[in-house]
Structure 1
Amino acid sequence: MDLSIVIVSWNVRELLRACLLPLGPDGERSPPSREVIVVDNASSDGSAEMVRTEFPQVRLIVNDANRGFPAANNQGLAAASGRYVLLLNPDTAVQGGALTKMVAYADEHPDVGAIGPKLLDADGSV
């Protein structure tokens, strides 16, 4: 497994859906092997049900109470099995090819401990 993607969610069903769509198996031509882990912090908006129904390949961890962002990230990290881990916020859209580039960069630079992708605003500006 090349990459584990951990997403913490709390009452952001529609943002989470939009975030998960490009992470599916058809998101990239030659994608790195990956798993997606969503940690739901006791959402009341149907987020967990949406993930179960629309994204059955996603590993879903549902908390019975909101444990907070750091603790939920730690839960996702503990469940991850990838060589690399991407902590991704649910209000993020991953651009095509980005995951492949990040994994390739990490493989080519073993001395690097962390990678941050270029972040773009909704209008495409930096």
Structure 2
Amino acid sequence: MPIPDLTIIIVNFNSGDFLSGTLESIRKHPPSNDWHVIIVDNCSKDDSFNKARMIVDSDPRFDFIEAEDNLGFAAGNNLAISRSSGRLILLLNPDTCVTGEAIDRLIYQIDGNSDYGAVGPRLVSENGSNTVSFGWLPTARGILSD
């Protein structure tokens, strides 16, 4: 397998059928570049991790890491990043549904803007409305005015 241009990282903890749906959406709408997915399982008690393994079966673009302890979200991502080989890294939540050319658009933006260090997608809810995916940290003035 060639060295991937993009490593997609997903941290799973009891994500139910969401994780399987995310993996299916990646396969249905893959990026144009060479890609690889690393799924870290944080000691899930449900069968989401095993279901995900069955869905991607022997596809060499998918790797699974079973953490010995629940590392938490950040450390789970860091573990996968330490094992990634992609030029670019995409962090996805296990309930993400990739659509259309969304990943290609992100790659286009980061590659076309050398002053960018990161890009993020527009989040859309199931009913089609935009969802705020960012925010400002609270300030004392903001808290007092609320």
TM over 0.5: yes
> 1:96, 1:64 → 2: CA distance?
35
Shift of the alpha carbon at 1:9?
Answer: 0.3
Q: Shift of residue 64 of structure 1?
A: 2.1
Query: Relative contact order (C-alpha < 8 Å, sep 6+): which is higher?
Result: 1
TM-score (norm 1): 0.91
**1:38 alignment partner, SS class:** strand
For residue 67 of structure 2, the aligned residue among 63, 66, 74 is: 63
Correspondent of 1:13 among 9, 13, 16: 16
**Structure 1 counterpart of 2:32:** 31
Structure-to-structure mapping, 1:1-126, within 5 angstroms: 1-24=4-27, 26-28=28-30, 31-56=32-57, 57=59, 58-126=62-130
Measure how far apart 1:79 and its partner are: 1.3
Cα distance in structure 1, aligned partners of 2:55 and 2:114: 36
Give the distance between the partners of 1:115 and 1:48, measured in 2 at CA: 28
SS at match of 2:99: coil
C-alpha distance in 2 between matches for 1:104 and 1:44: 38
TM-score if structure 2 supplies the norm length?
0.79
| SS state at 1:102 partner | helix
Q: Which has the larger radius of gyration?
A: 2
CA offset at residue 34 of structure 1?
A: 0.7
Structure 1 stretches lacking a partner, 5+ long = none
What's the C-alpha RMSD, in Å, of the aligned pairs?
1.4
User: Where do 4+ consecutive residues of structure 1 move more than 3 Å?
Assistant: none
Q: Distance in 1 between matches of 2:49 and 2:18?
A: 13
Percent identity, aligned pairs only, is 37
Displacement of 1:60 after TM fit?
0.4
Q: Which amino acid aligns with 1:102?
A: L
Amino acid at match of 2:24: L
Counterpart amino acid of residue 47 in structure 1? S
